Structure 1
C-alpha cells in the first residue's frame, strides 16, 4: 500500500531523508512488540520492478504541501484513512448487533479484527503519518499538522505489512 508522511524540511532531499527516518521507526518496532510495517520503499529509488513507480505509477518523490500538486495525494491519504475507518466501524456495529459476546470473543467473522482496526493509531488502517511516526487518524490532527509548519512536505512511501 502507499502511505504518506508529512514532514518539515527545507529541500526535497531533506524531506525524503526525513520521510525515510519516519519509516525506519515504523519498520523497526512498535510499543506492542511488533513492527508496524515489514518494509518500505520510497519513490526515489530506481530500478525496482515490483515497488514504487513500477507498481503504483508515477508519483513525485516529495511535494511541498503548499504546492498545487499536493491536494491529490493529501486527499487520497485522508480519504483512504476515513474510508478504512468507516468500513471497519460498520463491521463493528454489525458484530455488536448480530453476534453474541462469545462469538465476538472467538473472533467470528473477524469481529475482533475490526474492533482492533477501528482503534488503530498506525498500520494498514492509517495512510498519513507525521514526522514523529504518529499516525494521523482524525481530521483535527491533520489540520493541526498542516497549520503548524511553514515548510511541510508530503512524501509517498510504498509499504508492506
Structure 2
C-alpha cells in the first residue's frame, strides 16, 4: 500500500531540505546501515519517471516547502490530520475490542484487536505520517509544537512510501 509521509527538517534552501529529507526517508526504508526498514521504498515529488508513485499517484505536491509558507502549512496540516485520524481510528478499535472481546479473543487477534493495540503504540510506520529530521515519528501535538518552536528554518518534505 502507498501513503504520503512528511519529514520536518532544518535547511537554508529547498535543495538542502530535499537532500536532508531523502536522508530521513533512506533511513525509514533501511537504506542507511543499521537502520531498520519501516517502509519498502519511497519516491519524493521531484521524481517524474515513475507511473505508479509520487506525482503519478497523488498529483502535484511541493518537493519541499518552508513550514511558514502556504504550501508548507497545507502539508503540515495534511500530515498532522492524517496522524490524528489514524490514531483515533485505532484507539476506537482498541476500546471496542476491550469492551466487546474476551481476553482469549483479543489474544487470538479477533477483529484485528491486537493489531490495533500495536498501531496505537507505534513510533513509526503506517500509522505515523510526520517524522523529524532524525527519522523519529512525531506522535503527539506537544512534540510537534516543540519542533515547530525550535527552528527558524524549518522545511517540510513529502514522500510517497510503500509498505
Q: TM-score range by the shorter chain?
A: over 0.9
Q: Tell me how many residue pairs correspond in the alignment.
A: 158
Residue 7 of structure 1 pairs with residue 9 of structure 2:
yes
Residue 153 of structure 2: aligned partner:
151
CA RMSD of aligned residues (A): 1.2
Residue 21 of structure 1 pairs with residue 23 of structure 2:
yes
Q: Secondary structure in 1 aligned to 2:115?
A: helix
Aligned pairs for 1:54-133 within 5 A: 54-133=56-135
| Separation (CA, whole Å) in 2 of partners of 1:155 and 1:114 | 28
Q: Deviations over 1:114-159 (max 9, x none)?
A: 0000001110000000000000010000001111111110000000
Q: Secondary structure in 2 aligned to 1:3?
A: strand
Q: How big is the shift at 1:71?
A: 1.5
Q: Secondary structure in 1 aligned to 2:155?
A: strand
Q: Secondary structure in 2 aligned to 1:28?
A: coil
Q: Secondary structure in 1 aligned to 2:29?
A: helix
Task: Give me the TM-score of the superposition, normalised by structure 2.
Answer: 0.94
Q: Does structure 1 conserve the Cα–Cα contact (< 8 Å) formed by 2:28 and 2:39?
A: yes
| Separation (CA, whole Å) in 2 of partners of 1:103 and 1:34 | 31
| Separation (CA, whole Å) in 1 of partners of 2:89 and 2:70 | 30
Q: Does structure 1 conserve the Cα–Cα contact (< 8 Å) formed by 2:66 and 2:72?
A: yes
Residue 139 of structure 1: aligned partner:
141
Which 4+ residue blocks in structure 1 deviate beyond 4 angstroms?
none
Task: Give me the TM-score of the superposition, normalised by structure 1.
Answer: 0.95
Q: Decide which of 30, 36, 39 is 2:38's aligned counterpart.
A: 36
Residue 54 of structure 2: aligned partner:
52
Q: Does structure 1 conserve the Cα–Cα contact (< 8 Å) formed by 2:128 and 2:138?
A: yes
Q: How big is the shift at 1:96?
A: 0.3
| Separation (CA, whole Å) in 2 of partners of 1:146 and 1:116 | 28
